[in-house]
Amino acid sequence: MKSEADLTRFQLIWLLIAQALAIFPLFFYLPKWLPVIWFTTLAWRVQVYRGVWPYPASIIKTGVAFGCLGLLLLSYGFRVNVGSMSTLLCFAFVLKLMEVRKQNDLYLVIFVAFITLPLLFLFSTNVLAGAYVAFCFVFIMACLTAVQHNRHKRFMFPAWVNIKVIFQALPIMVLLFVIMPRLNPLWNMPSLQKNASTGFSDSMSPGSFSELIKSSDIAFRVTFDTNRHGDIAVPPKSEWYWRGLVLDHYEANQWTPFHRGWMNREKVFGADRPPDEWELEALNQLREYRYSILLEPHNYRWLFSMRVPFSADTGIGEVTFTENYLVKSPVRVNRRIEYSVTSSPDYSLAKYTLSNRDVGINTQLPDDGNPKARELAASWRRQNLSSFDAVQAALSFFQSSFTYTINPPPLGMDSVDEFLFDTQKGFCEHFAGSFVFLMRAYGIPARVVVGYQGGELTQSGYLIVRQSDAHAWAEVWLAGEGWVRVDPTASVSPLRIDQGFTETLSGADASMYWGGGFSRLYYSLQKNLDLFNYHWHRWVIEYEDKEQQKFLSRLLGGVDAWRIAVFLLGVSGCLSVIYLWWGGVRAKKKYAYPVDKHYQVFLAKLSSVANGSLKIEKGDTPTVIADKAVQVFPYHQRLIRDITHLYTEICYAGKAELLPKLHESVRQFKVLHLKL
Amino acid sequence: MSIQTAMQARFFRWIDKHVPKVTQHTLTLHNVYVFPSRLGLAYLLVACLVWVLGTNYQNNLILAFVFLMISVFIVSILHTFLNLNRISVRYTGASPVFVGDTVEINFELAADKNHYGIKARWQDESRWSSVDVVAEESSVYVRKAAISVPMQAKKRGWVKPKRLLLESYFPHGLIRCWTWLNWDVHILVYPKPVEVPEPESIVIAQAGTDNHPVSGGEDFSGLRNYQSGDSLKKVAWKIYAKGKGLYTKEFDQQVSKELWIDFDSIVAPNLELKLSGVAYWIMRYHQQGVDYGLKLANQAFQPDSGDEHMHRLLTAIATFDYS
């Protein structure tokens, strides 16, 4: 639509409001100079409108544009990422404001707003962002409406219109959201600005967990599903060990996954279940747990599962199984994903033997260092302890005089020795690391497992696992039993395992973790909010192919294209009819003459009381009706005549000012106790 | 281009068959057309762009935003249609104009709910008129709005306006909703006044005895009291009508001349310009407030004055057909 008219004051104000709302939240994520540019432009535009300043000359505009490009380079260099692209778009959006004179220019700015506004979702996906964008959308559409009508007296009019429009559009939007197929990315986009990956990294050294443990960020959420008996089985707390990564190489005080050469970094099996040759079998079907995990992005490939996963399924492609009974994602987890796993703690394996190579890997230790620890292991060996007894000996050694704290003193070169014999203060990673060291020194294959332990069961039955639940424990190989989980931390601080991390802390540790009462309040508030957030993420943010197909096949009995098309057409057809009816029929009712409304009330009262003795024909004029009514109700002649007179005066003589009188008379008539 | 023209011609033939020529139309599903505007197509394109953004980042909220854009578009179709639906358009007249002037053809729009941003123009005209049909006061039950749509008057005579285009983009400009209306309306266009030499007035001898020799004098010298015997034709009837008594008009010379515009005596190169010349002198005499008559080919209008007389004469020359 061509519209060469100048912008009116209202249109300009609407435009400024829409633009300000659309870019405001981005200011938090983009360089700090952007708001300055915006504000300057805004001030200039207002001055132009007031006629104080002229439109900027093209040389100034060019200069400003290049200046902004320069600032962009200063902030981002030549990196092409979401930040730099958004900034470019934003300042183009802002500077365009200077050029807006005609109504056609307004459309261009509005279209840029349509692209700028959803950029917020790249930075934030919470409910508030969603609500905010919906709110802004009303104003952007209001801008368009402000051009399309001639009533410029009522400033808020475009907003009211659009609030109505958007409420009517919501059902269709929900329908589209549920139905429209999701495609895979069409091409690679510049990556999101990710702050360093959250969670732990793929190595563990003393102290590497300490920051993590202070964080109350959510790592993942677990929902337990019904198992094959139809029960929702929640495993006991002692089973809440979420395995993420196995560290089986020790070097320079650091545990890392064993580097298995470039050919086969780690034996990985495709498919959504463990390889058949393991002949893995669940022994106790009652202890089979099915659960789905909504994992926050951590930028690594490992996923978390309980021991031992029998099958796993994810929407992002096939899950892979490693030989350490871990599940892995085929791609890095850089967005929230959901996957489901079936696990059982009671299982049998075809063979309970380790290959020589695996024994070698799992008993590897550096050639020197930590002599005291080695000596301790050697003393057990001299006592001829069995593997099982050696484990017990190590655990009772930890029980004797160790303290659990998240503020351990720093350790030097021989960190295992210093921890075991000097400081004796530490948390999971110290215990697990030194325990595995002792086991290996003794000759038992052992390894460190990192992941999360525990979680917080919410009232609605799902488990929140936070970064503070990060944990490290050990697995030792016992002949005839296979890999057995040993948690040395549990023997020092059993509460840590039974009650979860936050309840274990006391005194100084607790106050440090909580940061006072206010934080506690915040924490409980956060807990309630999380329930909402959980559903928001599960049903809105993560509504992907898998859920969509599940939902659609339940709704439509299938996900064939024709079913979707028929459903879409059917529902949108119904909605259209409803809307048309609203616009037509309902409007008629709403705008029916008020005078008729009152008169109808009068007629309704008459006919309900007269109970058939008053016969009103179709063509009867008000006067005829009045004559008939007076015959039936002679005592109320005056009122009946009054009402009829007022009605005819208003209708046929246009005396609208009599309307309140009619209203009053009809009201009087309505409360009469008419008797035949 | 020729295909487009042909298509358009076809479309208008169809329109003419389906939209009767009347003086009142009511817009319904049957005569209102709806299609995305150019802005609407651009909007869909932007939605596609945002959809690509959402798909490539696998961001459900961005996709939800796209779906909101699309559903607003769909709802906008209905709103735009309802904004033009159920409006009654009634022709309320137009004042006659001269060729070359702009005739404002008046319509009244009536509806029982508010309608916004309704624009109208004549086919082949570029000027739009725009109006909102809203209730000014709560006591008005039927919303009414007057709109006058300008049309260039190109030739004299009874002119039938072409089709009236009524359209609306409300609320968002994304959808164009329009209708073509045919009207049983005739607008009178007078010839454009063009100055020509003054036509020779016809001197008519007064019926009677002596006092109207056929010669120059025409000067009206004054009034005197009526005496019996004076010619009734010389009575100043206007003064008598005002109740001031009976007077006789006195002329210096006993000759009189009546102003007659004789079509044949107009000096102009062709018929149309001759008519323009007549129009000029009609206007001129009308402004002077004198009595004047008109002799056309086969009809004559007795000298008179006043607006009605002027319009009668102008109508005569506007509809004059030489053949």
> A164-168, A320-324, B13-17, B226-230: which has the minimum mean pLDDT?
B226-230
Condensed to tens digits (0 to 9), the pLDDT of residues B71-122 reads 999 999 989 998 998 888 989 989 889 999 999 999 989 887 788 989 999 9
> A310-314, A543-547, A586-590: which has the minimum mean pLDDT?
A586-590
Query: Which residue of B39, B127, B131, B178 is the best one to mutate when testing the A interface, meaning the one whose CB has the most A CBs within 10 A?
Result: B39
Confidence (pLDDT) at B165: 93
Catalytic option among A414, A487, A530, A642? A487
* pLDDT level of residue A325 (50, 70, 90 thresholds): confident
Is A430 designated active site?
A: no
Decide if A593 and B141 are in contact by the 8 Å CB cutoff: yes
What are the residues whose beta carbons fall under 8 Å from the beta carbon of A536, sequence distance 6 or more?
A: A126, A127
Answer yes or no: is pLDDT of B320 > 70: yes
Please tell me the distance from the alpha carbon of residue A619 to that of residue A597, in angstroms, as a whole number: 19
Number of H helices, E strands in chain B: 6, 17
* pLDDT level of residue A355 (50, 70, 90 thresholds): confident
Confidence (pLDDT) at B1: 58
Answer yes or no: is pLDDT of B210 > 70: no
Place of tokens 């697990």: A432
Please tell me the distance from the alpha carbon of residue A423 to that of residue A410, in angstroms, as a whole number: 9
* pLDDT level of residue B172 (50, 70, 90 thresholds): very high
Confidence (pLDDT) at B13: 86
- Please calculate the CA angle A644-A646-A652 and round it to the nearest 5 degrees: 95
Q: Using an 8 Å Cβ cutoff, are B287 and B261 in contact?
A: no
Is residue A374 helix, strand or coil? helix
Answer yes or no: is pLDDT of A365 > 90: no
Please tell me the distance from the alpha carbon of residue A296 to that of residue A311, in angstroms, as a whole number: 21
The CA–CA distances, whole Å, from A377 to A372, A435, A438, A476 equal 9, 10, 6, 15
> A224-233, A630-639, B309-318: which has the minimum mean pLDDT?
A224-233
Answer yes or no: is pLDDT of B50 > 90: yes
Decide if A656 and B49 are in contact by the 8 Å CB cutoff: no
Confidence (pLDDT) at B240: 78
- Count how many pairs of residues, chain A against chain B, have C-beta atoms within 8 Å: 180
* pLDDT level of residue B213 (50, 70, 90 thresholds): very low
> A162-176, A265-279, A613-627, B97-111: which has the minimum mean pLDDT?
A265-279
Place of tokens 């010349």: B277
Look over chain A and give the mean of its residue pLDDT values, rounded to a whole number: 78
**Chain B environment of A590 (Cβ under 8 Å):** 113
**Chain B environment of A580 (Cβ under 8 Å):** 78, 82
A118 vs B50, B116, B174: nearest CB: B50
The CA–CA distances, whole Å, from A421 to A370, A373, A412, A417 equal 11, 9, 13, 6
B90 vs B202, more confident: B90
* pLDDT level of residue A206 (50, 70, 90 thresholds): confident
> A409-413, B61-65, B173-177: which has the minimum mean pLDDT?
A409-413
Please tell me the distance from the alpha carbon of residue B227 to that of residue A288, in angstroms, as a whole number: 136
Report the range out of A121-125, B175-179, B316-320 with the highest average pLDDT. B175-179
Rg (CA), chain B: 31
Query: Quick one: which of A671, A522, A549, A650 has its CA closest to A602?
Result: A671
Please tell me the distance from the alpha carbon of residue B4 to that of residue B210, in angstroms, as a whole number: 76
Q: By the CB < 8 Å criterion, does B126 face chain A?
A: no
- Please calculate the CA angle B82-B88-B89 and round it to the nearest 5 degrees: 120
Half-sphere exposure for A250 (CA within 13 Å, toward CB) = 30
Sheet with A320-322: strands ordered across: A268-269, A320-322, A327-328
Report the amino acid identity of residue B93: G
Place of tokens 């008594």: B245
**DSSP one-letter code for A244:** E
Decide if A115 and B49 are in contact by the 8 Å CB cutoff: yes
Give the 3-state secondary structure percentages of chain A, helix then strand then coil, rounded to 5. Answer: 55, 15, 30
A172 vs B37, B55, B74: nearest CB: B74
What is the ipTM for the molecules in this complex?
A: 0.77
Decide if B172 and A144 are in contact by the 8 Å CB cutoff: yes
Q: Using an 8 Å Cβ cutoff, are A636 and A602 in contact?
A: no
Confidence (pLDDT) at A190: 57
Residue of A nearest to B113 (CA): A591
Answer yes or no: is pLDDT of A2 > 60: no
Decide if A141 and B72 are in contact by the 8 Å CB cutoff: yes
Answer yes or no: is pLDDT of B215 > 60: no
Place of tokens 């004055």: B305
The C-alpha of B163 sits at a distance from chain A's nearest C-alpha, in angstroms, of 20
Place of tokens 């190590």: A394
CA A70 to chain centre: 36
Compute the average pLDDT of residues A100-107.
Answer: 84
Compute the average pLDDT of residues B177-192.
Answer: 91
Which positions 8-67 of B are in contact with A (Cβ < 8 Å)? 37-39, 42-43, 46-47, 49-50, 52-67
Please tell me the distance from the alpha carbon of residue A293 to that of residue A305, in angstroms, as a whole number: 8
Residue A513 neighbours by CB distance under 10 Å: 16
Is A471 designated active site?
A: yes
Please tell me the distance from the alpha carbon of residue B294 to that of residue A324, in angstroms, as a whole number: 116
Sign of the torsion angle spanned by Cα atoms A442, A445, A450, A453:
negative
Decide if B112 and A117 are in contact by the 8 Å CB cutoff: no
Q: Using an 8 Å Cβ cutoff, are A182 and A316 in contact?
A: no
Assigned token pair, B177: 């909703």
Query: Which residue of B44, B78, B84 is the best one to mutate when testing the A interface, meaning the one whose CB has the most A CBs within 10 A?
Result: B78
Confidence (pLDDT) at A27: 85
A115 vs B50, B79, B86: nearest CB: B50
**DSSP one-letter code for A658:** G
Assigned token pair, B107: 């319509």
Condensed to tens digits (0 to 9), the pLDDT of residues A373-392 reads 898 888 888 888 888 888 88
Is A487 designated active site?
A: yes
* pLDDT level of residue A4 (50, 70, 90 thresholds): low
Condensed to tens digits (0 to 9), the pLDDT of residues B113-149 reads 788 989 999 988 888 998 888 876 544 456 788 899 9
> A90-104, A196-210, A490-504: which has the minimum mean pLDDT?
A490-504
Answer yes or no: is pLDDT of A326 > 90: no
Report the amino acid identity of residue A324: N
* pLDDT level of residue B38 (50, 70, 90 thresholds): very high
Condensed to tens digits (0 to 9), the pLDDT of residues A506-525 reads 444 444 444 445 555 666 66
Confidence (pLDDT) at A670: 81
A166 vs B72, B117, B140: nearest CB: B72
First-residue to last-residue Cα distance in chain A: 66
Catalytic option among A249, A298, A430, A471? A471
Global confidence as pTM: 0.64
Please tell me the distance from the alpha carbon of residue A344 to that of residue A352, in angstroms, as a whole number: 18
Answer yes or no: is pLDDT of A262 > 60: no
- Please calculate the CA angle A104-A109-A110 and round it to the nearest 5 degrees: 90
**DSSP one-letter code for A313:** E
Confidence (pLDDT) at A591: 46
Judged on CB neighbours under 10 Å (0-12, 13-18, 19+), B5 is exposed
Query: Quick one: which of A182, A183, A181, A180 has its CA closest to A572?
Result: A180
The CA–CA distances, whole Å, from A472 to A168, A451, B160 equal 53, 6, 92
Report the amino acid identity of residue A62: T
Report the amino acid identity of residue A674: L
Condensed to tens digits (0 to 9), the pLDDT of residues B243-262 reads 777 777 766 554 456 788 88
Which positions 197-256 of B are in contact with A (Cβ < 8 Å)? none
Answer yes or no: is pLDDT of A330 > 80: no
Please tell me the distance from the alpha carbon of residue B175 to that of residue B153, in angstroms, as a whole number: 32
Look over chain B and give the mean of its residue pLDDT values, rounded to a whole number: 83
Is residue A10 helix, strand or coil? helix
Please tell me the distance from the alpha carbon of residue A488 to that of residue A90, in angstroms, as a whole number: 54
Report the amino acid identity of residue A620: D
What are the residues whose beta carbons fall under 8 Å from the beta carbon of B159, sequence distance 6 or more?
A: B103, B153, B186, B187, B188, B189
Confidence (pLDDT) at A506: 45
